[in-house]
Structure 1
Amino acid sequence: MKSLMTTCCALLVSIFAFAQNADPILGKWQNPSGEGKIEIYKKGDKYFGKLYWIKDANKKDEKNPDAKLRNRKIQGLEILSGFTRDGQNYSGGQIYDPKSGKTYSCKMTVKGPDKLDIRGYLGVSLLGRTETWKRIE
């Protein structure tokens, strides 16, 4: 009986430790306008995000500063790249805005199990804009 209790306690501690180390940012998110859905994933020790669904699936990347890329579809495009994690904050990355064709420095902050603040900026974070994305299933 003592062995069973020890095993159960060890299992609970392991589960709790795993939950504490899980990446709360991973998964699918929707932007405030509802026009796009983004899946955030991890490659190596960096975080990225792909625009896996948009309202107009045939829309092209017409505003891209690189003329060779203007004919590619926006759906499926990696718009978040190169983030590192520090607790609930993710920084050091960039966000690409297909509406303007511009790339901004970006930081992300998890604000609970279903809210993510995305701040895109030029130069310093004070000169930017924040959107709150909502987690979706």
Structure 2
Amino acid sequence: MTKRFLGFALLFSLLIAAFSVQAAAPNPDAVLGVWKNGEGTGMIQIFKKGDKYYGRLVWLKVPNNPDGTPRTDVNNPDDSKKKTPLKGLENMRDFTFAGENKWEGGKIYDPKNGSDYSCEMTLVDPNTLEVRGFIGVSLFGRTDVWKRQVKK
């Protein structure tokens, strides 16, 4: 009886350990979906191309200019891109999964000032993403907290 109980306890422990390891396995695609920026002025869809992660503006609180025409990338330093619509603009690129719910090595473009920044993302929980843009080193930057709107 004791051997049977010990065998059952061992089997049960192994099953619990196996499920725990599976639940804790890193998920590089956990960041995929639509996220609202901290100001609530835009939503960005994070998607994957190959093994890299990208983002595009899919919703704007103010999608049109006062004359009713769609807003464009007027602050872009490249004159040939100033007429590009903001909706659909790919403003995040080249992120790679670094483990521990972190994506690094990417760039983020801010259409408000026409600047490009180095960027990293950290998934705090399934519905909260910290997006940190910076120049040079991460210490000199700003973090925006995004909230998930739609998964994948």
TM-score, normalization by structure 1: 0.84
Tell me the CA shift for residue 18 of structure 1. Answer: 8.8
* Partner AA of 1:75 in structure 2: K
Query: Does residue 1:34 correspond to 2:40, yes or no?
Result: yes
SS in 2 for 1:68: helix
Correspondence for 1:100: 113
Structure 1 residue ranges (4+ consecutive) displaced by more than 4 angstroms after TM superposition: 16-19
SS of residue paired to 1:60: coil
1:68 aligned partner, one-letter code: S
Name the SS of the counterpart of 1:24 in structure 2: helix
Instruction: Give the Å deviation of 1:107.
Output: 0.5
Quick check: 1:69 aligned with 2:75? no
Aligned residues: 124
| Structure 1 Cα separation of the partners of residues 23 and 81 of structure 2 | 41
What's the Cα RMSD here?
Answer: 1.8
Unpaired runs of at least 5, structure 2: 1-17, 64-69
CA distance in 1, matches of 2:61, 2:141: 25
Question: Match for 1:50 among 44, 56, 63?
Answer: 56
Q: Distance in 2 between matches of 1:42 and 1:111?
A: 20
Aligned to 1:59: 71
Return the letter of the residue paired with 2:47: Y
In the alignment, which of 93, 97, 110 is matched to residue 81 of structure 1?
93
What SS does the corresponding residue of 1:61 show, helix, strand or coil?
coil
Q: How much identity, in percent, do the aligned residues show?
A: 46
Provide TM-score, normalisation by structure 2.
0.76
Which of 97, 110, 130 is residue 123 of structure 2 equivalent to? 110
Gaps of 5+ in 1: 1-12
Highest CA radius of gyration, 1 or 2?
Answer: 2
Instruction: Tell me by how many angstroms 1:56 deviates.
Output: 2.4
One-letter identity of the residue aligned with 1:28: V
Residue 120, structure 1, aligned to residue 95, structure 2: no
2-structure distance, mates of 1:47, 1:19: 22
Quote the Cα distance in structure 2 between the aligned partners of 1:84 and 1:51: 20
Instruction: State the Cα distance separating 1:17 from its structure 2 match.
Output: 4.5
* Partner of residue 31 from structure 2, selected from 25, 28, 40: 25
Q: Deviations over 1:81-127 (max 9, x none)?
A: 00000121100000000000000000000000100000000011111
